[in-house]
Structure 1
Amino acid sequence: MGEVSTKEKKFNKWITVISVAIPLVVALLFAYKIPNSEPLTFLPPIYATINGMTAVLLVAAVIAIKNGKRAIHEKLMTTCIFLSALFLVMYVVYHMTSETTIYGGDGNLKYLYYFILMTHIVLSISVIPLVLITYSKVYLEDFESHRLWAKYTFPIWLYVAVTGVIVYVMISPYY
C-alpha cells in the first residue's frame, strides 16, 4: 500500500507540472511567430478532423467498457490521448506560422461563437489534469477511482473535442 501511495505522489507531482507547463508553453508559443514562414493553412481542417475523431473514439471507448471490452477501451483511450496531443502540436504550429483569424459573423452567431470558443479554451485547459489523473488511476490499478474520475473527465473531454469541430466550422469561412 505504501508503494502505491509513493507512486501516486510521484504521479500527482508530474500531473501538476504537466498541467501547468502545457498551457504556459502554448501561451508562449502562441505569442511567437516563426519569421518568414509560410502560413500552414492546410492544418485547421486536419486538426478539426482530429477533434472529430477524438469525439467519436471517446464515445466508442465508453461503449466498449460498458460492454466489458477493457482491452479495446484502453486502446481507444490511449489513441484519444495521442490524437489530443497531435491536435495540440498542429494547433500551436499553425498559430506560430499564421495570423489569428477573426470571426466575421455578426449578431447572435458572433456571441454564440465566442461563447463556444471561450468555454472550449477554458475546458481544454482543465481537461489536461483530468485526463492525466484518470489515466494514472488505471496505471495504479485503482479502477474504482478511475471510474469516479472518468465520470467528470469524459463529458468535459467530449465537449472540448466536439466544440473544437464547431469552432472550426464557424470560423472556416473567414480564413
Structure 2
Amino acid sequence: MMLKNRDRVMVPTIVGLSILVPVLVLILMYLPERYNFTGIEMGTFPFFHAVLNFCTALLLIAGYFSMRMKELTWHRNLMIGAFFLSAIFLVSYVVSKISNDPVPYGGEGILRPVYFFVLITHILLSAIIVPLVLFTMYRGLTGEVEKHRKVARYTFPVWLYVAVTGVLVYIFMAPYY
C-alpha cells in the first residue's frame, strides 16, 4: 500500500484514538458505581502504574541516547518498548478506574499546591501525548524520518514529563492508598 493511501487510513485512526482515549478515561473517572471484576485491591494498581511509568521513563531516556549514538535499531526497539509499557499502563489504568473509587489527596501545606500542579500538568499532557506518540511511532515505523524527527522533538519531552510525573503522583499519593 502506498504511503498516501496508508495515511488515509492511519491519520484518521490516530485522530480517532486520540479523542476516544481521553474521553473514555474521563467517563470512567465519573462512573457512579465501580465494578471490581479483577478482585485486585486498590493499592496494587498505583504501585504497578508507578513501576510502569518509571520503566517507561528509563526506556525513553535510553532510546534518546541510542538515537544520539546512531544506534537506530536499539532506538527503535527501546521506543517500541516504551510504547508497549505505556499501552499496558493505559489498559491497567482504565481497569483501575472501573474497579476502584478515586482516592482524595490528603496532604497539607506547601505540598498541596505542588501536588496539584504536578497532577494537573500530568493529566493535561497525558491527553496530549496520545496523538504525539501515535504519530511519532507511525512516522518512524513507516520510515518517514524527517516527519518522525519533527514530531519526536515535541513527543520526547512531553512523554518523559508524563512518565516522570506519573511516578511523582504515586509518591505524593502513596500514604493515602
Q: How does 1:1-175 map to 2 (within 5 A)?
A: 3-32=2-31, 33-34=34-35, 39-175=41-177
SS of corresponding position for 1:15: helix
- Cα drift, residue 174 of structure 1: 1.1
Q: Compared with structure 1, are the counterparts of its residues 7 and 120 closer, same or farther at alpha carbon in structure 2 (3 Å cutoff)? A: same
The 1-side partners of 2:174 and 2:111 are apart by 14
- Cα drift, residue 91 of structure 1: 1.6
The 1-side partners of 2:2 and 2:128 are apart by 28
The 2-side partners of 1:19 and 1:110 are apart by 30
Q: TM-score, normalised by structure 1?
A: 0.93
Q: Compared with structure 1, are the counterparts of its residues 102 and 64 closer, same or farther at alpha carbon in structure 2 (3 Å cutoff)? A: same
* 1:69-126 residue CA offsets vs partner (Å, 9 max, x unmatched): 1111111111111100111122222222222111111122101101110100010000
CA-based RMSD = 1.7
The 1-side partners of 2:36 and 2:133 are apart by 34
Runs (4+) off by over 6 Å? none
The 1-side partners of 2:142 and 2:7 are apart by 7
- Cα drift, residue 8 of structure 1: 1.8
Q: TM-score, normalised by structure 2?
A: 0.92
Q: Is contact 2:29–2:102 with CA below 8 Å preserved after alignment?
A: no
- Cα drift, residue 12 of structure 1: 0.8
SS of corresponding position for 2:2: helix
The 2-side partners of 1:35 and 1:10 are apart by 36
The 2-side partners of 1:57 and 1:40 are apart by 27
Percent identity between matched residues is: 38
The 2-side partners of 1:38 and 1:6 are apart by 44
Q: Is contact 2:136–2:151 with CA below 8 Å preserved after alignment?
A: yes
Q: Aligned pairs, how many?
A: 174
For structure 1, which segment, 34-43 or 14-23, has the greater mean C-alpha deviation from structure 2 after superposition?
Answer: 34-43
The 1-side partners of 2:41 and 2:134 are apart by 32
Q: Is contact 2:46–2:170 with CA below 8 Å preserved after alignment?
A: yes
The 1-side partners of 2:141 and 2:112 are apart by 43
For structure 1, which segment, 55-64 or 5-14, has the greater mean C-alpha deviation from structure 2 after superposition?
Answer: 5-14
Q: Compared with structure 1, are the counterparts of its residues 143 and 38 closer, same or farther at alpha carbon in structure 2 (3 Å cutoff)? A: closer
Q: What are the ranges of 5 or more consecutive residues in structure 2 without an aligned counterpart?
A: none
- Cα drift, residue 56 of structure 1: 0.7
